[in-house]
């Protein structure tokens, strides 16, 4: 076995074929795909590690170094993070040790069964904690929405019916097969949200939009759009893989309940054609739980340290930050 470290974006193209093979052979999210990592690596301090056996890649750690910490590529925008692997080898841990990174790992958005956790289970100074949650809704095809919400009582189904009747709109789903990336529509709604102080100036910056366009052009991303009158009032970016849909980014104006309305329209129109799974991504927002009752799962964060004192300082800082956030929330309310 041998290890190859990729530190430049151009090097990623050299392993694209093996990356896609490894990805297609496993059960990964779109955030481990070559397209996501390649388009995200434009400005990153890349440190992606590949393990090879007989000149064939059997493991990839899609990582970058930020503030001397090894993290997954663009983990800020990734709902789920992990390595890609078909090997039980621990050889990459030796590489991390030789590069003084074994005590400087910061991996977030990990599912309970993440492959990375099996590799790191024996480290001495580390912390694994629940960070955020994610949720999934599974629905069967129906011609009479919302009859497929079989876990709902009549009152809850009636509420969904009221929501879809709230606006007289045109809802469309755009894909690379029939349209170019709706860049101008997204920019218009983005600027509207910023002007309304619903988001700050950093929302959907140029780098993120390049990433989204690259994913759209690769066929991994679709765009859902709602128009009321002549005005675009809501846009959502969703990952699509067969009948599996993952909400990623929602844009909307200040129309009452418009984001919820849009989510319901997406679910309604898709399940009128086929069975579907809807992943709502990171964060268990109250409106999602109350209106869809999806199944909720934990996401974890893993951090490693060079010493026990480093670990304890980290835990103390987390407690202080949590305390300040709690106080801030009370003050705002």
282-310: per-residue pLDDT in tens?
987 888 899 999 999 999 999 999 999 99
Q: Is residue 285 part of a domain?
A: no
Q: Is residue 292 part of a domain?
A: no
Q: Report how many domains make up the chain.
A: 2
120 and 208 co-located in one domain: no
**Beta carbons of 81 and 115 less than 8 angstroms apart:** no
127 and 63 co-located in one domain: yes
Q: What pLDDT score does 98 carry?
A: 94
pTM: 0.91
**pLDDT above 90 (res 88):** yes
User: The domain that contains 77 carries what CATH number?
Assistant: 3.40.630.30
59 and 105 co-located in one domain: yes
Q: Please report, rounded to a whole number, the percentage of residues in the chain having pLDDT higher than 90.
A: 87
Q: Is residue 98 part of a domain?
A: yes
Structural domain harbouring 264 = 141-274
129 and 145 co-located in one domain: no
Phi-psi region of 56 (alpha: psi -120 to 50; beta: other; left: phi over 0): beta
**pLDDT above 70 (res 234):** yes
Gap between the Cα atoms of 131 and 111, Å rounded: 11
Q: Is residue 171 part of a domain?
A: yes
Confidence of residue 271 (pLDDT cuts 50, 70, 90): very high
Gap between the Cα atoms of 302 and 109, Å rounded: 9
**Beta carbons of 179 and 211 less than 8 angstroms apart:** no
Q: Which helix (H) or strand (E) holds 9?
A: helix 9-14
7 and 127 co-located in one domain: yes
Confidence of residue 322 (pLDDT cuts 50, 70, 90): confident
225 and 328 co-located in one domain: no
62 and 88 co-located in one domain: yes
**pLDDT above 90 (res 81):** yes
81 and 185 co-located in one domain: no
Q: Is residue 291 part of a domain?
A: no
192 and 262 co-located in one domain: yes
pLDDT digits (tens, 9 = 90+) for 138-168: 999 999 999 999 999 999 999 999 999 999 9
Q: Is residue 287 part of a domain?
A: no
Running DSSP on this structure, what letter comes out for residue 230? T
Query: What are the angstrom distances between the C-alpha of 149 and each of 93, 136, 167, 257, 325?
Result: 46, 13, 21, 20, 36
Q: Is residue 288 part of a domain?
A: no
**Beta carbons of 208 and 187 less than 8 angstroms apart:** no
222 and 239 co-located in one domain: yes
40 and 73 co-located in one domain: yes
127 and 159 co-located in one domain: no
């Amino acid at each position: 076995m041998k290890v190859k470290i990729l530190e430049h974006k151009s090097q990623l193209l050299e392993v694209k074929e093996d990356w896609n093979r490894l990805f297609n052979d496993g059960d990964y999210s779109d955030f481990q795909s070559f397209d996501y990592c390649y388009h995200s690596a434009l400005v990153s301090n890349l440190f992606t590690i590949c393990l090879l056996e007989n000149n064939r890649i059997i493991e990839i750690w899609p990582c970058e170094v930020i503030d001397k910490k090894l993290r997954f590529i663009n983990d800020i925008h990734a709902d789920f993070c992990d390595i890609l692997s078909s090997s039980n080898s621990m050889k990459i841990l030796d590489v991390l040790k030789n590069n003084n990174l074994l005590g400087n790992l910061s991996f977030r958005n990990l599912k309970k069964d993440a492959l990375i956790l099996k590799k790191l289970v024996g480290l001495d100074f580390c912390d694994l904690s629940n960070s955020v949650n994610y949720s999934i809704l599974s629905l069967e095809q129906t011609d009479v929405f919302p009859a497929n919400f079989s876990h709902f009582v009549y009152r809850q189904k009636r509420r969904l019916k009221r929501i879809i009747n709230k606006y007289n709109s045109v809802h469309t789903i755009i894909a690379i097969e029939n349209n170019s990336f709706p860049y101008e529509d997204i920019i218009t709604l983005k600027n509207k949200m910023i002007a309304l102080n619903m988001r700050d100036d950093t929302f959907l910056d140029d780098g993120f939009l390049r990433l989204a366009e690259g994913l759209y052009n690769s066929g991994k991303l679709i765009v859902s759009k709602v128009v009321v009158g002549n005005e675009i009032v809501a846009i959502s970016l969703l990952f699509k893989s067969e009948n599996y849909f993952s909400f990623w980014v929602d844009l909307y104006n200040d129309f009452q309940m418009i984001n919820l309305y849009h989510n319901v329209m997406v679910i309604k129109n898709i399940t009128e054609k086929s069975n579907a799974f809807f992943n709502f991504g990171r964060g268990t927002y109250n409106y999602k739980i109350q209106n869809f009752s999806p199944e909720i799962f934990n996401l974890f964060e893993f951090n490693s340290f060079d010493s026990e004192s480093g670990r304890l300082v980290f835990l103390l800082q987390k407690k202080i930050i949590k305390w300040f956030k709690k106080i801030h929330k009370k003050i705002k309310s």
